[in-house]
Structure 1
Amino acid sequence: MDAGDIRSAYLKFYAARGHTPIGRASLVPRSDPTTLFNGSGMQQLLPYLLGAEHPDGNRLVDSQPCVRVQDIEEVGDNRHTTFFEMLGNWSLGDYFKAEQIPWFWEFLTEVVGLDPSRIYVSCFAGDESNGIPKDTESAAIWQALFEAAEINAERVDLGTEHDGGELGNHGARIAFYGGKNWWCRAGAAEAMPVGEPGGPDSEVFYLYPDVVHDGAYGKFCHQNCDCGRYIELGNSVFMQYVRTEGGFATLPRKNVDYGGGLERIAAAAIDSPDVFRSSLLWPIVEQLSTLTGKSYDTHTTAMRVLADHLRGAVFLAVDGVLPSNKEQGYVLRRLVRRATRFAFELGVEENFLHKVVPTIADLYRDAYPELADRHDEVVAVLVKEEKAFRQTLRRGLRELVRMSDRLVTGDDLFVLYDTYGFPVELSVEEARSSDIALSEHWRPEFERCMRVQRERSRAANKMHL
């Protein structure tokens, strides 16, 4: 099954179980000023998870495009992307763990056809300080499913900080973690604002046994190890708590909030640990190879960055984002400029985005026809930004190289930003990749320069009033 087949099969699977398909939300939240982008399928459903009645009922399913900018520095490995599709299903006070866990197991093993012996899971170890118990219920459901498949279902409690030392190199089938298996938008229970929902979750991982564990991530490998042997496919959040002034209370009803990475499931379906070989990314990589004459095997990082960033930029432009120096527009600008910078590594020194956008639109022609419908508009937005940055890119890179014989300060980075239009993050990445020494105080130095510039701008504006 390719990614399109999996998306379609997922929506049909849950529709057959009483779920109403709902349309995708814009990447830019329309009624949530606390976040720049929709980074999960649940964001548009927050009022309903808190108890409001959804017009389409209490069982919902969708596939939601998402952007998570916090992963931008990770792009280049085999699994992180800033843009991805999240398969989602929800129960708003209807079914709970006893239905959700077996359904997801059935979808992965019987519909997608994944090897059940390579599936590993994690559950919540509990939080005594907040009166939230260990999730032995989910673990028991998983254990029954594994045993029915004649798979040993050993459990181990790793706590919050454990590195997996008791697991050996193959791991227990069910691992209990603390904060890693508590889901909320704030990232941790103690960081949740009052009124925010959250709950224990159960994550599902797929083991790639041929991937060699990297000891830099701990002595032993385990489900939440970041070495790439275990890749998370999906996460069932059992959202039943809400943060209060005094701690936590139960929500009016128990909810299921599932989110799973379409690209990661599609990669598992072809037995590849590399999501860029899935059918939603590989055609972009192939076109980049054709345009540049370079091989994915020899220029892996650059092609991964380009494929991810261009796909994200296209979707942002489709949803009305324009390049700017603020908020969503700054992210779009940064994606295009990083892509342009990495294109230089592939020898592309002329505008090329207009050649890639049609490929991306064609990949989503059936699922998201708006990409093809707004093709010309999107190309115009992205090419304009590409052209503007390419004009200063060479000069900026040359200037950074000139600085390489000394310690580069935040003041230097501000010159690159102010004169050459380099996002400061891009300058920092370039310096680090080229082993150019950076001042350990570059950030406060840069921010000081920015404050001085803003003060000058305000003073100038007053003079003209």
Structure 2
Amino acid sequence: MDARDIRSAYLQFYAARGHHLIDRADLVPRDDPTTLFNGSGMQQLLPYLLGTEHPAGTRLTDSQPCVRVQDIEEVGDNRHTTFFEMLGNWSLGDYFKSEQIPWFWEFLTEVVHLDPSRIYVSCFSGDETNHIPKDTESADIWADLFARAGIDNARVDLGTEEHGGHVGNGGARIAFYGGKNWWCRAGAAEAMPVGEPGGPDSEVFYLYPDISHDPAYGEQCHQNCDCGRYIELGNSVFMQYVRTDDGFGPLPRRNVDYGGGLERIAAAAIDSPDVFRSSLLWPIVEQVQTLTGKSYDTHTRSMRVVVDHLRGAVFLAVDGVRPSNKEQGYVMRRLVRRAIRFAFDLGVQENFLQKIVPTIAHLYSDAYPEVTERLDDVVAALVKEEKAFRQTLRRGLRELIRMSDQVVSGDELFVLYDTYGFPVELSVEEAHANSISVSEQWRTEFDARMRAQRERSRAANKMHL
């Protein structure tokens, strides 16, 4: 199955189980100025998870395009992307663990036909301080599913070792973690305000046994190790507790919130740990190879950055975002200019976005027809940004290299930003890539120059009033 088949099969699978298919949300959240982008399928559903009745009922499903720019520095490895699709299903006070876990197992093993012996899971180990019990209910369901498939179902409690990675799972199929497997909006149980819901979650991982464990991530490997042997496919959140004045109590209406990465499941379906070889990304890679004459195998990181960032920029443009120096527009500008910068490393000396964007649009024409409907506007917006940046790219890089005999301060980074249009984060990346030292106070120094510029601008505007 390719990624488009998996998306369609997932939505049909849950529709057959009484779920209503809801429309995707725009990448820019509505009525939420605190969040730049929709980074998960549940963001548009938060009011309903907190108790409001949804007009479509208690069972919902969708596939939601997402942007998470906190992963931008990690793009270049085999699994992180700033843009991705999240498959989702929700129960609003309806079914719970005994339905959700077997359904997802069935979808992975009987629909996508993943090897069940390579599926591993994690569950919540409990919180003694807040008197929240261990989630043995989820673990028991998983253990039964593994046993029925003739697979070992050993458990191990890794507790607080989740971040250090010094204790491996010993091959255990079910690993218990602490805060890593607790969901709440506040981030931690002790930070939750009274009345706030939360609950344990259960993550599903796919093992790539041919990948050797990298001891840089800990002495032994385990489900949440970052070495790449275990790749997370999805996470089921079970909202079943509410913060009370004296601790935690049962939530009157329990919810299920599942989200899973389409590209990662699609990569697992072709037995590849590299999401860029999945069918929604590889055609773009192939076109970049054709345009540059370079090989993905020898220029892997640069091609991954170009492909990922342009895909994200296309969807941002479809949803009305345009490059600018503020908020969503600044992120979009950074994505486009970072893609152009890495394409420069691939030998692309002239404008090329108009050749790539239609390929991206075609890949999504069936699921998101608005991408092709708005194609001309998208191409125009991105090409305009490309032309503006390419004019100063070489001069900006030369200026940065000229600073190689000094520690680059926030003041110099401001000049690169103000004169050459380099997003400051891109300048810092380039400096590090070229072994150029950057001041530890660069952010403070840069922000001070930005504030001074704004104050001068405001003063000038007043003089002209």
User: Normalization by structure 1: what TM-score?
Assistant: 0.97
1:119 is aligned to 119
Could you give the per-residue CA deviations for residues 102-150 of structure 1, whole angstroms, max 9, x where no partner exists?
A: 0000100111000111000000111222232110100010011111111
Shift of 1:419: 1.0
Q: One-letter code of the match for 1:75?
A: V
Q: Which runs of 5+ in 1 are unaligned?
A: none
Counterparts in 2 of 1:136 and 1:444: CA distance versus 1, 3 Å = same
Structure 1 distance, partners of 2:226, 2:318, is 33
2:78 is aligned to 78
Q: One-letter code of the match for 1:118?
A: R
Shift of 1:406: 1.2
Counterparts in 2 of 1:77 and 1:50: CA distance versus 1, 3 Å = same
Structure 2 distance, partners of 1:184, 1:327, is 26
Counterparts in 2 of 1:224 and 1:284: CA distance versus 1, 3 Å = same
Structure 1 distance, partners of 2:245, 2:333, is 40
Indicate the percent of aligned positions where both proteins have the same amino acid: 83
1:293 is aligned to 293
Output aligned runs, 1:266-277, within 5 Å.
266-277=266-277
Counterparts in 2 of 1:197 and 1:355: CA distance versus 1, 3 Å = farther
Could you give the per-residue CA deviations for residues 382-436 of structure 1, whole angstroms, max 9, x where no partner exists?
A: 1111111111111110000000111111111111111111111000111111111
2:415 is aligned to 415
Counterparts in 2 of 1:300 and 1:374: CA distance versus 1, 3 Å = same
Structure 2 distance, partners of 1:454, 1:194, is 41
Structure 2 distance, partners of 1:245, 1:418, is 51
Pair 1:280 & 2:286 matched: no
Root-mean-square deviation (CA, aligned residues, Å) is 1.5
Q: Which runs of 5+ in 2 are unaligned?
A: none
1:364 is aligned to 364
Shift of 1:241: 3.2
Q: Does the CA contact (< 8 Å) of 1:50 and 1:251 recur in 2? A: no
2:65 is aligned to 65
Shift of 1:455: 2.1
Output aligned runs, 1:32-431, within 5 Å.
32-162=32-162, 163-167=164-168, 171-192=171-192, 196-243=196-243, 248-431=248-431
Range moving further from structure 2, 281-290 or 125-134: 125-134
Q: One-letter code of the match for 2:415?
A: V
Query: Residue 89 of structure 2: SS of its match in structure 1?
Result: strand
Counterparts in 2 of 1:277 and 1:193: CA distance versus 1, 3 Å = farther
Range moving further from structure 2, 449-458 or 174-183: 449-458
Q: Does the CA contact (< 8 Å) of 2:168 and 2:219 recur in 1? A: no
1:15 is aligned to 15
Q: Does the CA contact (< 8 Å) of 1:51 and 1:252 recur in 2? A: no
Shift of 1:172: 1.0
Shift of 1:458: 2.2
User: Normalization by structure 2: what TM-score?
Assistant: 0.97
Structure 2 distance, partners of 1:463, 1:243, is 54
Q: Does the CA contact (< 8 Å) of 2:130 and 2:190 recur in 1? A: no
Q: One-letter code of the match for 1:311?
A: R
Structure 2 distance, partners of 1:250, 1:436, is 55
Aligned residues: 464
Structure 2 distance, partners of 1:343, 1:306, is 6
Structure 2 distance, partners of 1:382, 1:194, is 46
Query: Residue 130 of structure 1: SS of its match in structure 2?
Result: coil
Shift of 1:27: 0.6
Query: Residue 100 of structure 1: SS of its match in structure 2?
Result: helix
Structure 1 distance, partners of 2:345, 2:284, is 17
Q: One-letter code of the match for 1:25?
A: A
Shift of 1:374: 0.5
